[in-house]
Amino acid sequence: MKSSKYPIIYHPSYDIPLPERHRFPGTKYSLLLRHLEDIGVIQNFLKYTPKPCTTENLSIAHEASYIEAIQTGNLSRENQVRLGLPWSETLRERSFTAPNGTLLAAQLALKTGIACHAAGGTHHAHWDFGAGFCVFNDLAYTARALIRMGLARRVLILDCDVHQGDGTANILSNDTNILTCSIHCAENYPIKKAVSDLDFAISRGSGDGDYLTVLRRCLSQIDRINFSPDFVLYDAAIDVHGNDKLGLLEMTSEGIFERDKVVLSHFKKKQVPIATTIGGGYGEAQQEVAQRHSIIFRAVASVFAS
């Protein structure tokens, strides 16, 4: 399980071209990479580039006509509004590539114990429509692909985004070998929550202490239900931060670092491989958002180097 460098998966197409003042920080992916270089954390990682999914690949997690609508740019007006991102060829390219980024992270993590995708966590994407800036659901896709390829038997999706992983929960509602677990803010989007296998709703305004208590309760509950995952997909989103533009929790960067270390250490101790995604993070100061997304990479360097 030990290696001096851990995989980071990134593709130059990840940035999303958006009109000025759009709520989504479209350049946070390249800014994150540059920030990891600036602070030297990138030294702990080896860079890998994913290849785009085929339509057939994606059909394990999405309906054929929806995949085709993204392929051709023929989204209905209603689906365009739900998605919240304007269609473009770049959006198509990155949408077909990012799910394989998470899958590549998972495949590499099987060898190294840990691998990190510098994108992913698009958990609001449903079977037949995208929503909340999420086109395809990389978490549902990767979990199902791992099982179909015989690379895992029981996958845990631990979603720590401030928003509930409603798309993931719905797509996987009948997959008994995939445990969906969401820790989110009760008052955040989506207003109408889906039913994950395990849901932990935290009240608006809660900070590090409350959050870490719930996280520890969640991990011990996963232990108690005897699911024993042999693979973990961890959505290490940073929209739980007090300065996040959309999230209603009040965590600090130190609290998020602690959250990530608790999760990573827990599964490292059990020798369960983990693939991480960056998930949600919002704000007009895209550099600050990118810096917050570096927390999971710093936590990996800290936990796995020791």
Binding site for Zn ion (CB under 5 A): 161, 163, 239, 280
Q: How far is the CB of 78 from Zn ion (least distance, A)?
A: 22
Q: How far is the CB of 26 from Zn ion (least distance, A)?
A: 15
In 10 A of CB 181, how many CB atoms? 25
Query: CB-wise, 161 or 258, nearer to Zn ion?
Result: 161
Q: How far is the CB of 123 from Zn ion (least distance, A)?
A: 8
Helices (H), the chain: 28-38, 55-58, 64-72, 77-83, 89-112, 138-148, 166-171, 208-224, 253-269, 286-293, 295-305
Angle at 132 between CA 189 and CA 178, to 5 degrees: 85
Q: How many residues appear in the chain?
A: 306
The span from the CA of 57 to the CA of 275, in Å, is 19
Query: CB-wise, 124 or 266, nearer to Zn ion?
Result: 124
Q: How far is the CB of 188 from Zn ion (least distance, A)?
A: 7
In 10 A of CB 220, how many CB atoms? 10
**Tokens linked to 226:** 């005897």
Query: CB-wise, 161 or 208, nearer to Zn ion?
Result: 161
Query: CB-wise, 57 or 164, nearer to Zn ion?
Result: 164
Contact between 222 and 181 under an 8 Å Cβ cutoff? The reply is: yes
The span from the CA of 208 to the CA of 259, in Å, is 9
**Tokens linked to 142:** 């990767």
Contact between 258 and 296 under an 8 Å Cβ cutoff? The reply is: no
Query: CB-wise, 131 or 272, nearer to Zn ion?
Result: 131
Q: Which residue is nearest to Zn ion (CB)?
A: 280
The span from the CA of 11 to the CA of 118, in Å, is 8
Query: CB-wise, 62 or 163, nearer to Zn ion?
Result: 163
Q: How far is the CB of 141 from Zn ion (least distance, A)?
A: 18
Q: How far is the CB of 236 from Zn ion (least distance, A)?
A: 11
**Tokens linked to 264:** 């990573």
Query: CB-wise, 66 or 189, nearer to Zn ion?
Result: 189
Q: How far is the CB of 235 from Zn ion (least distance, A)?
A: 9
